[in-house]
A and B are shown apart, each in its own frame.
Chain A
């Protein structure tokens, strides 16, 4: 399953909410859709969800155009908007059953699917509770269950973590990881970039409706991180000696002892980290751990965007 966004534009009068963005991602990938407030994320997502029509350009889900064949793409895609369910006098189970019916899933199959969705999203215990009695976190979970009740291959989620407490955020993160592991293609927008860092293997960064970067984290990091960090833990007690040796090596910008590790800052070339490890081993250092912490979206975001709004 491939999602291709091709030169997508959405103008509101003179305001170019989305101005010619193109990117693609595929099954099993979780892509973060990030940008400052008013960047055009929600507008682009609404177009992808067939709620809105683009001024120009198109998006294809498994080859089906969201503009020309919205009915087909809706079957392949689940959309979780940034608003919570508004229905009050209905239980969680009846609510999910309604959406399964709305997708035309017949009787016995519907019962199985709704039950499975409730189990997956951990809603079984509250299936008979009224929606009005749920907390925001629970409602978000119901909203996610609703988006995936027809087992879509693509999930588009607009600010799913907004307003959630830390526990609910962790649970949501785990759910997204599980969905990614099931092979679903997920596009998720959020302001909480540290959260996205943990789960995303790619990102689409936009500002003022224009695409700034799109690709896997490795691709974006290679382009945009001016410096990278390596954590080195020696196997013996030669920590100070290791620190001194590192400071004498080329391409190292800084090195600091942090507990039993040395945190090294080096320039952006990914090959330099490999050379440092080789040199250390040649010099007889016993290395227990040599790792590069995952690039934080926050750093990337700050490097790439300018904070402009239209």
Chain B
């Protein structure tokens, strides 16, 4: 075989097997074929109605009008169709060991392959729409940057929606939970489809070409791209972790990704705050997003396995100096909580440092004062998370699955919201009127931090509770760190004769 003739085969060999399979299936799928034909038919009908129904020769923005409608149809159908098609297939395969673990294919290849195949399908739909879009340019009223930028943003929206549904499809859930999850995803997608179509239509008709030298516009676009990249990346790593066997070190890539994303986005937010916009908004956005993310990560960490299997322990560094960072990044509840807490402290530290360094207007400094509320939420997350772990370990004596610790935390929250209220209603002769501004019955509910009359009491309560939980939390952390030792390999038995 000549060198040139062997090139297609070499390319074929390098392709992700999942992409090859998915595209072969898409080509054979009646659903995909019918959707594509239907989609083209709708585009033809819409453009025919517009051209025949209005005086395009005298109107100077008829191109813009038709583009907005066509783009709306394109983005709306892609945001609905591609994620549902992709996640439905993955969900069906997830319930079966067909694909997952019986080959040497890695979960990473499965997730990236599914996403890549979905994006190729999206490109196919976009390219089918291109002749109609080009036609709108000839009808005037729309510039090329508006077309390209809004279509790119639309593509990113489809990418994010698809990755989010891939994440949903990888969640281990019962049939009923899957149905409920599917309904929730469908509602979310409908919102995303209509919202995306409307927002991008507005953006396209407002003329992006004129804003190309506006730093504020470019900054917000860059921030949007950065956040999309981070959220898609995070969802991708979470999907890979969920597809990986529970016995594997599946949280390590997620933690490494979050740490790198936290650092990179932090630096970029600082550059935008200090050099580009001279505003605290990027830094503040970074803080809010990462505090929320890390609080979620803290609760997730409490649901991770407490004991490591040989598959994880064989990768524990033998060097004691490397063992500490490994403990923070490896799969494991205590290490995960410690990693979340360290990053949360660093986030607050960086945010306060930025506040002192940056020029800020009164409004933004007021918003910065709300960091106290965010700190309150963090204290609640820590207190509830560690209490749930202790309840699981001490009261239930590990009879409840580690992965269900979040249910205990949720139950504790429910108890904190209901029991004091019931007690107050029984104990108080005034009944419901007993709840005036001075009462403390709802201090167990984190959301009461948002109520000004509760804010201080809630913060104090969360601080004391978190400080108390610091003791068992630290004991748990030390105990798990001492158990974090390299696995002693047992040699295989000698072959029998």
Residues of A within 8 A of B (CB): 2, 4, 6, 13, 24, 26, 49-53, 58, 60, 63-65, 67-68, 70-71, 74-75, 79, 81, 83, 85-91, 94, 98-99, 101-104, 106-108, 130, 147, 150
Contact status B98-A102, CB under 8 Å: no
Choose from B98, B487, B493 the contact partner of A83 (Cβ within 8 Å).
Answer: B98
Alpha-carbon distance between A81 and B101 when the two chains are bound, in angstroms: 11
**A-B contact list, 5 entries, CB within 8 Å:** A52-B245, A58-B310, A67-B310, A89-B30, A108-B9
Contact status B101-A102, CB under 8 Å: no
Q: Mark B268-280, 1 if CB is under 8 A from A, else 0.
A: 0000000000000
Interface membership of B436, Cβ < 8 A: no
User: How many residue pairs between the two chains, A and B, have CB atoms under 8 Å in the bound complex?
Assistant: 104
**Residue from A13, A81, A85, A101 with most neighbouring chain B CB atoms (10 Å):** A101
Interface membership of B314, Cβ < 8 A: yes
Alpha-carbon distance between A52 and B248 when the two chains are bound, in angstroms: 10
Contact status A86-B495, CB under 8 Å: no
Alpha-carbon distance between A99 and B98 when the two chains are bound, in angstroms: 10
- With A2-B495, A50-B101 known to touch, is A90 a contact of B309 (CB < 8 Å)? no
Contact status A94-B24, CB under 8 Å: yes
Report the nearest A residue to B29, measured CB to CB. Answer: A89
- With A50-B101, A103-B104, A107-B12 known to touch, is A90 a contact of B495 (CB < 8 Å)? no
Contact status A86-B96, CB under 8 Å: yes
Alpha-carbon distance between A107 and B310 when the two chains are bound, in angstroms: 36
Choose from B28, B92, B311 the contact partner of A130 (Cβ within 8 Å).
Answer: B28
**Nearest 6 Cβ contacts at the A-B interface:** A53-B247, A101-B17, A102-B103, A60-B492, A89-B28, A102-B105
Alpha-carbon distance between A111 and B336 when the two chains are bound, in angstroms: 46
Choose from A4, A24, A64, A68 the contact partner of B310 (Cβ within 8 Å).
Answer: A68
Contact status B495-A102, CB under 8 Å: no
Contact status B20-A49, CB under 8 Å: no
Residues of A contacting B26 in the complex (Cβ-Cβ under 8 angstroms)? 89
Contact status B102-A4, CB under 8 Å: no
Interface membership of B214, Cβ < 8 A: no
- With A90-B24, A107-B12 known to touch, is A81 a contact of B103 (CB < 8 Å)? no
Alpha-carbon distance between A52 and B490 when the two chains are bound, in angstroms: 19
Q: A58-B310, A67-B311 are in contact. List 8 more A-B contacts (CB 8 A).
A: A68-B310, A68-B489, A74-B103, A86-B96, A99-B103, A103-B103, A103-B104, A147-B102
Contact status B24-A79, CB under 8 Å: no
Alpha-carbon distance between A28 and B192 when the two chains are bound, in angstroms: 58
Contact status A81-B102, CB under 8 Å: yes
- With A53-B311, A60-B492 known to touch, is A83 a contact of B96 (CB < 8 Å)? yes
**Residue from A13, A74, A104, A107 with most neighbouring chain B CB atoms (10 Å):** A107
Residues of B contacting A101 in the complex (Cβ-Cβ under 8 angstroms)? 17, 20
Contact status B21-A98, CB under 8 Å: yes
B276-310 contacts to A, CB under 8 A, are 309-310
- With A53-B309, A86-B96, A107-B9 known to touch, is A24 a contact of B104 (CB < 8 Å)? no
- With A13-B399, A67-B309, A70-B311 known to touch, is A51 a contact of B102 (CB < 8 Å)? yes
Alpha-carbon distance between A209 and B490 when the two chains are bound, in angstroms: 23
Contact status A104-B104, CB under 8 Å: yes
- With A75-B104, A99-B103 known to touch, is A86 a contact of B311 (CB < 8 Å)? no
Alpha-carbon distance between A83 and B100 when the two chains are bound, in angstroms: 13
Interface membership of B97, Cβ < 8 A: yes
Residues of B contacting A51 in the complex (Cβ-Cβ under 8 angstroms)? 97, 100-102, 245
Report the nearest A residue to B11, measured CB to CB. Answer: A107
Alpha-carbon distance between A4 and B492 when the two chains are bound, in angstroms: 8
Contact status B104-A102, CB under 8 Å: yes
CB distance from B121 to the nearest CB of A (A): 13
Interface membership of B496, Cβ < 8 A: yes
Interface membership of B25, Cβ < 8 A: yes
Interface membership of B93, Cβ < 8 A: yes
Choose from B13, B24, B102 the contact partner of A107 (Cβ within 8 Å).
Answer: B13
Alpha-carbon distance between A98 and B20 when the two chains are bound, in angstroms: 8
Residues of B contacting A74 in the complex (Cβ-Cβ under 8 angstroms)? 102-104
Alpha-carbon distance between A150 and B496 when the two chains are bound, in angstroms: 27
Contact status A60-B493, CB under 8 Å: yes
Contact status B496-A79, CB under 8 Å: no
Choose from A13, A63, A79, A103 the contact partner of B492 (Cβ within 8 Å).
Answer: A63
- With A53-B311, A103-B104, A104-B104 known to touch, is A94 a contact of B21 (CB < 8 Å)? yes
Choose from B25, B96, B247 the contact partner of A89 (Cβ within 8 Å).
Answer: B25
Alpha-carbon distance between A2 and B494 when the two chains are bound, in angstroms: 10
**Residue from A6, A86, A89, A91 with most neighbouring chain B CB atoms (10 Å):** A89
Residues of A contacting B100 in the complex (Cβ-Cβ under 8 angstroms)? 51
Residues of B contacting A79 in the complex (Cβ-Cβ under 8 angstroms)? 102
Report the nearest A residue to B6, measured CB to CB. Answer: A107
- With A4-B492, A102-B17 known to touch, is A71 a contact of B29 (CB < 8 Å)? no
Residues of B contacting A147 in the complex (Cβ-Cβ under 8 angstroms)? 102
CB distance from B93 to the nearest CB of A (A): 6
CB distance from B307 to the nearest CB of A (A): 11
- With A53-B245, A70-B311 known to touch, is A85 a contact of B495 (CB < 8 Å)? no
Report the nearest B residue to A83, measured CB to CB. Answer: B96
Residues of B contacting A86 in the complex (Cβ-Cβ under 8 angstroms)? 92-93, 95-96, 98
Report the nearest B residue to A53, measured CB to CB. Answer: B247
Residues of B contacting A65 in the complex (Cβ-Cβ under 8 angstroms)? 492
Alpha-carbon distance between A83 and B93 when the two chains are bound, in angstroms: 11
Alpha-carbon distance between A87 and B245 when the two chains are bound, in angstroms: 22
Residues of A contacting B495 in the complex (Cβ-Cβ under 8 angstroms)? 2, 4, 26
B64-111 contacts to A, CB under 8 A, are 92-93, 95-98, 100-105
CB distance from A55 to the nearest CB of B (A): 9
CB distance from B18 to the nearest CB of A (A): 8
CB distance from A12 to the nearest CB of B (A): 10
CB distance from B106 to the nearest CB of A (A): 9
Contact status B97-A83, CB under 8 Å: yes
Report the nearest A residue to B309, measured CB to CB. Answer: A53
**Residue from A71, A75, A81, A86 with most neighbouring chain B CB atoms (10 Å):** A86
- With A74-B103, A83-B98, A89-B25 known to touch, is A68 a contact of B314 (CB < 8 Å)? yes
Residues of A contacting B9 in the complex (Cβ-Cβ under 8 angstroms)? 107-108
Residues of A contacting B21 in the complex (Cβ-Cβ under 8 angstroms)? 87, 90, 94, 98
CB distance from A190 to the nearest CB of B (A): 19
